[in-house]
């Protein structure tokens, strides 16, 4: 029989298996159970010592001890049980359906995503930006308890999403990212780092990380990328930089007949390498979707601050069961206290 499905008046609530299954919200109250019998023993001794006694002369043959005389103690016994059960109720017995132990991470991560026109190049499938959005979604899905934010940049930079653990919201923001979000053309890497630093400057996390993804050429904004990297490093932000794209002939759009048009593409890694070095992170180069996924997977493994978390799910209280029993025994005490079972001379 499932003890926890029994009615409140069932004796199963007092079985050893039931008490072993409980977790106690206020376990310190259980120590008071030891004091309950001593309290009543003290009460009986007090009454025996100080209550009125009447001298009565009886013969030796009338001094007989009968088990029936012990019935007089029943009211006190019921009162003691009521008090003990109130103490159990105050300890608040509970049962949880599931105990979960897992390793969680508590890192603040800002993703800086380049949405400049060069991210339309189709050396990634379907293009650089969509590939970056896809691996960013997978990266977010793989994190637990981390606060993540998003900064987008081209000729200017702005914070698209603040640091949050609402991963569904972050993914919806990623889906909405487009090349038209910023009018100014260019790639303002320094401005992006400045916005990241501003977002993370008040963070109290022990680990602050920026993942900066771009095609590598800084040609916009009014903040020097190296200066911005030094400022970020001063706030304890570790910077990982990812340069995407192939060099040489790459597809960019289609011609009148639907055939891919090819353009010359160069990649400047110098600035991004220096930024990663200043920020104490690493520089990565990705030339296709698979390589980009591998880069994010490596960063995911690097940045883990593991904390053991124990959680209980679906907690149910059972204190009211013992409170009902206590009320029942208390009412029995009141009833018996007013009957012949009580010693009226002592009361």
The model's pLDDT over 296-336, given as tens digits with 9 standing for 90+, comes to: 888 888 776 555 555 656 778 888 888 998 898 888 888 87
**Pair (234, 119) in one structural domain:** yes
Q: What is the mean pLDDT of residues 44-53?
A: 63
Determine the pLDDT at residue 251.
Answer: 78
- Are the beta carbons of 117 and 129 closer than 8 angstroms? no
Residue 68 has pLDDT above 60, yes or no: no
pLDDT digits (tens, 9 = 90+) for 139-156: 999 887 789 999 999 999
Residue 52 has pLDDT above 70, yes or no: no
**Pair (144, 281) in one structural domain:** yes
Query: Is residue 345, in this structure, part of any structural domain at all?
Result: no
Query: Is residue 82, in this structure, part of any structural domain at all?
Result: yes
Residue 344 has pLDDT above 50, yes or no: no
Higher pLDDT, 29 or 131: 131
CA-to-CA distance for 143 and 174, rounded, in angstroms? 16
Query: Is residue 189, in this structure, part of any structural domain at all?
Result: yes
Q: What token pair was written down for 266? A: 């160069």
Query: Is residue 89, in this structure, part of any structural domain at all?
Result: yes
pLDDT digits (tens, 9 = 90+) for 253-297: 676 666 777 777 777 789 999 999 999 999 999 988 898 899 888
Query: Is residue 309, in this structure, part of any structural domain at all?
Result: no
Q: What is the mean pLDDT of residues 121-143?
A: 91
**Pair (193, 285) in one structural domain:** yes
C-alpha torsion angle, residues 123, 124, 125, 128 (rounded to 10): -110
Determine the pLDDT at residue 284.
Answer: 94
Q: For residue 1, name the pLDDT band (cuts at 50, 70, 90).
A: very low
Q: What is the mean pLDDT of residues 235-260?
A: 82
- The CATH number linked to 112 is 3.40.50.410
Higher pLDDT, 338 or 167: 167
Distance of CA 137 to the CA centre of its chain: 21
Determine the pLDDT at residue 237.
Answer: 95
SS3 for 307-326, per residue? Answer: EEEEEEEEEEECHHHHHHHH
**Pair (321, 265) in one structural domain:** no
CA-to-CA distance for 157 and 231, rounded, in angstroms? 16
Q: What token pair was written down for 230? A: 């030094």
Give residue 40's domain range.
3-52+60-98+314-337
Query: Is residue 347, in this structure, part of any structural domain at all?
Result: no
Q: What is the mean pLDDT of residues 38-53?
A: 68
Residue 113 has pLDDT above 50, yes or no: yes
**Pair (33, 161) in one structural domain:** no
Q: Which parts of the chain fold into alpha helices (H)?
A: 16-21, 32-50, 74-90, 128-141, 167-176, 189-200, 225-234, 270-278, 289-302, 319-337
Determine the pLDDT at residue 69.
Answer: 60
**Pair (192, 223) in one structural domain:** yes
Task: Please list, in sequence order, all residues whose beta carbon lies within 8 angstroms of the beta carbon of residue 19, skipping any fewer than 6 positions away.
Answer: 93
Q: What distance, in Å, lies between the first and last C-alpha atoms of the chain?
A: 44
Report the share of the chain in percent with pLDDT over 90: 34
**Pair (161, 185) in one structural domain:** yes
**Pair (141, 76) in one structural domain:** no
Query: Is residue 342, in this structure, part of any structural domain at all?
Result: no
**Pair (248, 113) in one structural domain:** yes
- Are the beta carbons of 118 and 246 closer than 8 angstroms? no
Report the share of the chain in percent with pLDDT over 70: 80
Q: What is the number of other CB atoms lying within 10 angstroms of the CB of residue 306? A: 10
Domain count, the chain: 2
Query: Is residue 217, in this structure, part of any structural domain at all?
Result: yes
**Pair (84, 155) in one structural domain:** no
Q: What is the mean pLDDT of residues 27-52?
A: 75
Higher pLDDT, 19 or 152: 152
Determine the pLDDT at residue 58.
Answer: 55
Q: What is the mean pLDDT of residues 106-135?
A: 91
Average pLDDT, the chain: 82
List own/partner pairs for 294-300 with CB under 8 A and 24 or more apart.
Answer: 295/135, 295/242, 296/135, 296/136, 296/138, 296/139, 296/211, 299/139, 299/209, 299/211, 299/240, 300/139, 300/142, 300/143
Torsion 34-35-38-39 (CA) sign: negative
**Pair (255, 159) in one structural domain:** yes
CA-to-CA distance for 285 and 269, rounded, in angstroms? 8
Higher pLDDT, 198 or 217: 198
- Are the beta carbons of 22 and 322 closer than 8 angstroms? no
**Pair (213, 242) in one structural domain:** yes
Maximum mean pLDDT: which of 104-108, 138-142, 249-253, 256-260? 138-142
Residue 347 has pLDDT above 50, yes or no: no
Q: For residue 49, name the pLDDT band (cuts at 50, 70, 90).
A: low
């Amino acid at each position: 029989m499932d003890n926890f499905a029994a009615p409140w008046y069932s004796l199963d609530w007092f079985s050893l298996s039931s008490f072993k299954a409980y977790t106690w919200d206020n376990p310190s109250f259980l120590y008071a159970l030891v004091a309950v019998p001593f309290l009543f023993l003290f009460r009986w001794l007090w009454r025996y010592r100080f209550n009125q006694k009447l001298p009565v002369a009886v013969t030796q043959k009338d001094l007989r001890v009968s088990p029936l005389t012990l019935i007089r103690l029943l009211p006190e016994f019921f009162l003691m049980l009521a008090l003990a059960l109130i103490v159990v109720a105050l300890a608040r017995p509970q049962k949880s359906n599931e105990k979960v132990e897992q390793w969680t991470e508590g890192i603040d991560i800002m993703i800086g995503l380049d949405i400049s026109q060069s991210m339309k190049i189709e050396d990634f499938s379907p293009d650089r930006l969509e590939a970056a959005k896809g691996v960013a979604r997978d990266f977010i899905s793989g994190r637990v308890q981390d606060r993540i934010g998003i900064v987008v940049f081209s000729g200017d930079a702005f914070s698209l999403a603040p640091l949050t653990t609402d991963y569904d919201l972050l993914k919806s923001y990623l889906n909405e990212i487009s090349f038209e979000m910023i009018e100014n053309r260019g790639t303002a890497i320094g401005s992006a780092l400045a916005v990241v630093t501003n977002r993370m400057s008040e963070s109290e996390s022990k680990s602050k990380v920026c993942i900066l993804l771009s095609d590598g050429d800084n040609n916009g904004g009014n903040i020097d990328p190296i200066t911005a990297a030094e400022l970020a490093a001063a706030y304890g932000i570790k910077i990982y930089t990812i340069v995407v794209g192939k060099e040489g002939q790459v597809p960019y759009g289609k011609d009148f007949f639907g055939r891919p048009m090819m353009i010359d593409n160069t990649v400047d890694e110098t600035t991004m390498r220096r930024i990663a070095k200043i920020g104490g992170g690493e520089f990565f180069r990705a030339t296709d979707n698979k390589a980009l996924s591998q880069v994010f997977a490596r960063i995911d493994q690097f940045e883990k601050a593991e904390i053991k978390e124990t959680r209980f799910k679906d907690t149910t209280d059972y204190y009211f069961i013992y409170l009902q029993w206590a009320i029942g025994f208390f009412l029995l005490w009141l009833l018996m206290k007013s009957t012949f079972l009580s010693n009226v001379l002592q009361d």
